[in-house]
Amino acid sequence: MSSFIVADDFKAKAKFKPQYPKSAYVKRISGYAVVDFLINEKGRTEQQSISSAKCFNLIDKNGNYFWYDFENSEIKPAYDCKYFDFKALKASKQLIYENFVGKPIEHSYRYNFRHWSLIKVDSVIDLESGDFVLK
């Protein structure tokens, strides 16, 4: 895709909030999915694909995501998952941009899915020790 323009700060004229996946909601999983796509000459998106997606249930004060395993009382990094892919792809197909360039533009959009039970801590987490570090 070397002939395409890369747009890092394009804003959508129309966007729609995706539905929270029931399977993730029931399991109290928060996460995000980043969708890469092209903005065509008419401002519609095409060639959508997921570039990254993570699941988590814990966020520290620096905005870093983690997975807290309640059964084993362990903190692990956020993990790759597919819970949010379908809903993010569906929502990305409804995005409308203003394409003033007149040719396809590479772009991406991050959809956040935050469950009400997301644990927020006022410290930083050290994954090696599993401890909360006040900074």
Query: What was the pLDDT predicted at 113?
Result: 96
The pLDDT tens digits for 93-119 are: 999 988 888 788 889 899 999 999 998
Q: What is the DSSP letter of 37?
A: E
Q: Is the per-residue pLDDT at 41 higher than 60? A: yes
pLDDT above 60: residue 3: no
C-beta pairs of 11-14 under 8 Å, 24+ apart in sequence: 11/97, 12/95, 12/96, 12/97, 12/109, 13/43, 13/96, 13/97, 13/98, 14/94, 14/95, 14/96
H-type alpha helices, the chain: 22-26, 85-92
Percent of the chain whose predicted confidence (pLDDT) is above 90: 53
In angstroms, rounded to a whole number, what is the distance separating the alpha carbons of residues 63 and 44? 31
DSSP secondary structure letter of residue 44: B
Q: Please state, in angstroms and rounded to a whole number, the distance separating the CA atoms of residues 31 and 56.
A: 6
Q: Where are the domains of the chain?
A: 5-52+82-116
Q: Please count the CA atoms within 13 angstroms of the CA of 13 that sit on its side-chain side.
A: 10
Does position 134 have pLDDT exceeding 60, yes or no? Answer: no
**∠ CA 98-52-28 to the nearest 5 degrees?**
105
Categorize the per-residue pLDDT at 1 as very low, low, confident or very high, splitting at 50, 70 and 90: very low
| Amino acid, res. 49 | S
Quick one: CATH architecture of 5-52+82-116? 2-Layer Sandwich (3.30)
